[in-house]
Amino acid sequence: MHTATSDRLYQRAVNCMPGGVNSPVRAFRNVGRTPLFIDHANGSHLYDADGNEFIDYVCSWGPDIFGHAYPPIVEAVRKACEKGLTFGACHEGEIILAEKIISHFPSIEMVRLVNSGTEAVMSAVRAARGFTGRNKIIKFEGCYHGHSDALLVKGGSGLLTNAIPDSAGIPESVTQHTLIARYNDNKSVSDLFEAYPDSIACVIVEPCAANMGVVPPQEGFLPFLREITKKYGAVLIFDEVITGFRLSDGGAQKYYGVDADLTTLGKIVGGGMPLAAYGGRREIMACISPVGAVYQAGTLSGNPVAVAAGIATLTAIEQQPEIYAELEKRSAKLETAMRKAGFQVNREGSLLTTFFTDKAVTNYETVCTSDREQYAAYFQFLLEHGIYAAPSQFEAMFVSAAHSDAEIDATCEVIERAGKL
Ligand SMILES: *Cc1c(COP(=O)(O)O)cnc(C)c1O
């Protein structure tokens, strides 16, 4: 594989951007190579600056459920651009997208559009605190909820990849109210509620964890969270930035049949543009400014171009409800190939992660038993055989509707060969 052009671009990039990247998960440092620079992408394929071609299973970390440059989305964006890139004022598209979100998520009665998952989560937590008048929040080890201060404690994704338990630059006074529980461990949650019965504003959880690698919720875990938050008057927040429109058209909450009080969405809902959302029960959302006292704003929030991409994506999902069954079938094939290769796999729908450990992977602690050097070798082998997977153990592999059966079969063959290394 020739990478001379990417290598040259990387030399320029490291001089002008920290690590040469605008988000740490892109850096490839943990797999001991310099990142590839992408020239363009189409369908299930990525093309780098040296002309290498890959079947892409990162899919921009989730948004591209229809693959790259899906024509109906591109066309909607092109049309929107011609009408103006931003208004800083109300437009009908915002309502159409909000109504679509509400129609897919029965637990969402009102919604607000923002620009990133980080912002959605930060705002949802603020709403929960404003609504309850309480300060403490519970999050789970290994779950990632964006990079806002209060949530950068025991996070997943790039933090785990770079072995950062807590970020520098965050005063203790900001994280003193962040309580940490263990994923799939009900007692770790009830212990915290017993210790602080009147001061927990919310429990925030990835209903299927995907930022420590994929770790599905065990039977009873989500219903337990639903019950205990109700009992103590705390708000249950499902961070569905990855799982929303991924596990089903109604996200993880429809998939598992458990409702949240507040939900955060991102990635797919923006169709590849910077758009995210948070919403939920009307009485909680009524706390948001200008109706209520919880302030939250955004110059580019509800941006007409991003909104057009979001509407086109949700419309495509509505027109092709069968994609979820197809994604399931294709992803199951990949899972089978990984098992044949002798690897351990966690999979939920079109989210999957290969682990290199004998232990069942059910939480942060068992995730960490996976052999990261083996993962790095696996990643390299896939890359050199034209398969672009996440460069980190602590991420998911994403399957899109653009991955053809032939491409899935070709990928399975490479995975099975990787097992013979
Ligand atoms: C990606 C992600 C975020 C952060 O979203 P950004 O758009 O990267 O800010 C938050 N929560 C979860 C579960 C995510 O996967």
CATH number of the domain bearing residue 326: 3.90.1150.10
Is 144 considered catalytic here?
A: yes
Is position 244 within any domain? Answer: yes
Is position 378 within any domain? Answer: no
**Residue 420: pLDDT above 90?**
no
Q: Does residue 172 sit in the same domain as residue 192?
A: yes
pLDDT at residue 155, rounded to an integer: 81
Is position 36 within any domain? Answer: yes
Q: Which residue has the higher pLDDT, 59 or 28?
A: 59
* Number of structural domains found in the chain: 2
Is position 365 within any domain? Answer: no
CATH code for position 180: 3.40.640.10
d(CA 367, ligand 1 centre) in Å: 20
Closest atom, ligand 1, to C-alpha of 146: 4
Is position 160 within any domain? Answer: yes
Q: Does residue 231 sit in the same domain as residue 214?
A: yes
Alpha-carbon gap, residue 253 to 206, rounded angstroms: 11
Q: Does residue 186 sit in the same domain as residue 280?
A: yes
Closest CA to 9 of 39, 53, 29, 31: 39
Q: Which domain holds residue 55?
A: 1-69+322-346+391-411
122 ligand 1 Cβ < 6 A: no
Distance set, CA 339 to CA 16, 247, 334, 346 (Å) = 43, 22, 9, 10
The mean pLDDT of the chain is: 96
Q: Which of 136, 139, 154, 267 is catalytic?
A: 267
Q: Does residue 96 sit in the same domain as residue 7?
A: no
Q: Does residue 52 sit in the same domain as residue 199?
A: no
d(CA 270, ligand 1 centre) in Å: 12
Q: Does residue 241 sit in the same domain as residue 92?
A: yes
Q: Does residue 289 sit in the same domain as residue 337?
A: no
**Residue 298: pLDDT above 70?**
yes
Per the document, the length of the chain is 421
Q: Does residue 244 sit in the same domain as residue 155?
A: yes
pLDDT one-digit tens code per residue, 100-130: 999 999 999 999 999 999 999 999 999 999 9
Q: Does residue 306 sit in the same domain as residue 327?
A: no
Is 50 considered catalytic here?
A: no
121 ligand 1 Cβ < 6 A: yes
Q: Does residue 43 sit in the same domain as residue 93?
A: no
d(CA 246, ligand 1 centre) in Å: 14
**Cβ contacts of 231 within 8 Å, gap of 6 or more:** 193
Is position 417 within any domain? Answer: no
238 ligand 1 Cβ < 6 A: no
Query: How confident is residue 303, by pLDDT bands cut at 50, 70 and 90?
Result: very high
Q: Does residue 326 sit in the same domain as residue 310?
A: no
Query: How confident is residue 163, by pLDDT bands cut at 50, 70 and 90?
Result: low
d(CA 30, ligand 1 centre) in Å: 21
Q: Does residue 119 sit in the same domain as residue 204?
A: yes
DSSP state of 213: S
pLDDT at residue 45, rounded to an integer: 98
pLDDT one-digit tens code per residue, 309-335: 999 999 999 999 999 999 999 999 999
